[in-house]
Amino acid sequence: MDVREAAPAVVTGGSRGIGRAVVERLAAYGAPVVFGYATERARAEEVVEAVRAAGGSAWAVRADLAEPDGVDRLFAGADEHLGGRLGVLVNNAAVTGRTAFADASAEEFDRVLAVNARAALLAMQHAERRMAGGGRIVNISSVSTAWPAADEALYAASKGALEQLSRVASRALGPRGITVNTVSPGTTDTDLLRDAVPAEAREAVAGMTPLGRLGRPEDVAAVVAYLAGPDAAWVTGQNIRADGGLV
């Protein structure tokens, strides 16, 4: 078993892209998984059906993490399905907040930081209270903290905050046997990327990547599964760049 004793897991933002790949990977290893989604109910139901068709267990909980009580709602739903038990938390939910530097507003700053950093902090606090005898927390950041685009001020700032929260949490939760790590994907081929980035730009990034292609959601999910498993018991406070060597 690759995932830590098939421990119950919570994944934020699990209805599409990297989040969906993480849900499916953990469930394939036998972990019962609760995942959150903000608005796309049909997509969330598709994930649940796919996991169950493959013999796994998954439940979707609607929780908009931009709202003050979004994290509370997610974990209330998780407790209902998992009985208050938790072994793995993956903080994946994020909003991009791409805007010109000069146009970034206080309201947009608050929204992006609320989803990408505040919600992760609150989720880690919830997870700590439910993890007995150790646990695994994996936070999904981005190579944008090392190589930001000109319109990524808010996104890069929020992910930078998440990375520092992860480092501090690894020290705070380590005495309880809980590991906390970060995975920073590079440009990953998701429907969200295809909607936002023209084909020629995607091809240009693939050409700059030593491995010669864009990342796939499954590439990132594999790293998350490693960090959630027993082989990573001595790994904490780390930031692994799953970017094909781009940065």
Q: Identify whether 53 is part of a domain.
A: yes
Residue 1 belongs to a domain: no
Rounded CA-CA distance 44/61 in Å is 9
pLDDT class for 158, splitting at 50, 70, 90? very high
- 195 alpha carbon, distance to own chain's centre: 20
Cβ-contact 22, 92 below 8 angstroms: yes
- What would the pLDDT profile of 185-235 be if each residue is shown by its tens digit? 998 988 877 877 788 888 999 999 999 999 999 999 999 999 999 999 999
pLDDT in the model for residue 193 = 79
SS3 of residue 192 by DSSP? helix
Instruction: Dump pLDDT digits (tens) for 45-72.
Output: 999 999 999 999 999 999 999 999 999 9
Are the C-beta atoms of residues 239 and 185 closer than 8 Å to each other? no
Q: Is 222 domain-assigned?
A: yes
pLDDT band at 5 (very low <50, low <70, confident <90, very high): low
The answer to whether residue 173 sits within a structural domain is: yes
Q: What is the pLDDT of residues 236-247, one digit of tens each?
A: 999 999 999 998
How many domains does the chain divide into?
Answer: 1
Q: Is the model's pTM score more than 0.75?
A: yes
Q: Is the pLDDT of residue 2 over 70?
A: no
Select which of 29, 37, 155, 226 is catalytic. 155
How much is the pLDDT for 4?
Answer: 44
Residue 174 maps to which CATH number? 3.40.50.720
31 lies in some domain: yes
- The tokens for 217 are 């959601």
In a domain, 55, yes or no: yes
d(CA 2, CA 110): 38
Q: State the pLDDT at residue 171.
A: 98
Under the banding of pLDDT at 50, 70 and 90, the label for residue 1 is very low
206's tokens:
């693939």
In angstroms, the CA 175 to CA 91 distance is 21
Domain that holds residue 64: 9-241
Q: Report the alpha-carbon distance of residue 111 to residue 75 in Å, rounded.
A: 21
pLDDT tens profile 83-132: 999 999 999 999 987 888 999 999 999 999 999 999 999 999 999 999 98
Q: Does residue 34 lie in a domain region?
A: yes
CA-to-CA separations, 164 to 154, 157, 225, in angstroms, rounded: 16, 11, 22
**Are the beta carbons of 71 and 123 closer than 8 angstroms?**
yes
Residue 155 is among the residues annotated as catalytic for this protein:
yes
pLDDT above 60 (res 159): yes
Rg (CA), the chain: 17
Provide the 3-class DSSP secondary structure of residue 140: strand
Supply the mean pLDDT for the chain: 94
**Cα gap 229→32, rounded to integer Å:** 14
Strands 58-62 and 88-91: unpaired
120-151 residue pLDDT tens: 999 999 999 999 889 999 999 999 999 888 88
In a domain, 3, yes or no: no
Label residue 117 exposed, middle or buried (CB < 10 Å: 0-12, 13-18, 19+).
buried
The pLDDT > 70 percentage for the chain reads: 98
